[in-house]
Amino acid sequence: MPEGDSILRAARGLHRALAGRTISRFDSVFPHLTHPLEDRPLVGQVIDRVEARGKHLLMWFSGGIVLRSHMRMHGSWHLYRPAERWQRPRHEMRIVLETPDIIAVAFNVPIAEFASADTIDRTEPLRDLGPDLLREDFDPATAIARIQQRGDMEIADALLDQRALAGIGNIYKSESLFASGVNPFTPVSQLTSGQLERIVAKATTFMRANAGEGIGAMHTYAGLRRTTGRFDPAARFWVYGRAGKPCRRCGTAVRRARQGPYARSTYWCPQCQPGPT
């Protein structure tokens, strides 16, 4: 599943290409997207802006409509010139937004819906979305308080709860916990405020470094996400995707396990991240 930094970069690219342009054609395989537009068509409306909120991508139109999409595991948005060959097969197309100069195509996007601009902030799941680490106004104290409300959850699962903290996925979950020296299976209730502050700070640093421009952070992203700061493609991560390989700090074999109700992959070093007592 794309993480918050990927969605932010996608939103920036779509915004640069589409903002201020007029829709000349709209098509979708989703009836729930095409039927509501019979009385309020998108054609003729201007794309005002495109933004990211956690893992959600929002496209705002001049007629007071917002298109919310979520990539899940395999979704993506592509940009093409008219008559340019698509890089994905047509049967994977879910949405087409066409302007005279640029065409935006959503492939394999499983979640997409329209909402009124006046009510979008009150709709699920945006209504309950936690603080977004990539926003300028991100408040670490609020994020930590929300995590602490999940005292019975293991910290790795709490970090994935988008109602606590928006944007983190499997990669930043595992990497932030390793960098903080915290075992992913530790209940939130057993962690101090200082430990939670360090975890949130590490996650913020990693995500902002890979999101690139516009948030006042160092820019390490150059086509491949990394948390080690190394540009060697084989040395991008501390533990993620490295099960059975030696820890970059102590040499102990990195472990991997399925965790939580959705059996998400978690990677950790048992030596650098000792288990909860």
Catalytic residue among 12, 135, 256, 264, which? 264
Record: fold of 4-128: N-terminal domain of MutM-like DNA repair proteins (3.20.190)
What CATH code is assigned to 140-268?
Answer: 1.10.8.50
Q: What is the pLDDT of residue 1?
A: 58
pLDDT at 215 over 80: no
Give residue 107's Cα distance to chain centre: 17
Give buried/exposed letters for 52-69 (b at 16+ CB in 10 A, else e): bbbbbbbbbbebebbbbb
| Annotation marks residue 248 as catalytic | no
Q: How many residues does the chain have?
A: 277
Please give the Cα distance from 254 to 223 (Å, whole number): 25
Tell me if 272 sits within 8 A of 250, measured CB to CB: yes
Collapsing DSSP to helix, strand or coil, 81 comes out as coil
Residue closest to 240 by CA, chosen among 182, 176, 154: 176
The token pair at 166 is: 């928006």
The overall average pLDDT reported for the chain is: 91
Residue 264 annotated to the active site = yes
pTM above 0.85, yes or no: yes
Catalytic residue among 2, 154, 175, 202: 2
Active site residue 245: no
The mean-pLDDT minimum among 51-60, 224-233, 253-262 falls in: 224-233
Q: Say how far apart CA 251 and CA 253 lie, in whole Å.
A: 6
Place of tokens 């909860």: 276
| Average pLDDT, integer, range 241-256 | 97
Instruction: Give domain limits for the chain.
Output: 4-128, 140-268
Active site residue 175: no
Question: In this predicted model, what pLDDT tens digit does every residue of 151-206 receive, in sequence order?
Answer: 999 999 999 999 999 999 999 999 999 999 999 999 999 999 999 999 999 999 99
- Report whether pLDDT(220) > 60: no
Q: What is the pLDDT of residues 30-89, one digit of tens each?
A: 988 987 666 668 999 999 999 999 999 999 999 899 999 998 888 999 999 999 999 999
Please measure the distance between the N-terminal and C-terminal CA atoms of the chain and give it in whole angstroms: 32
Given the residues 53, 55, 94, 236, select the one marked as catalytic: 55
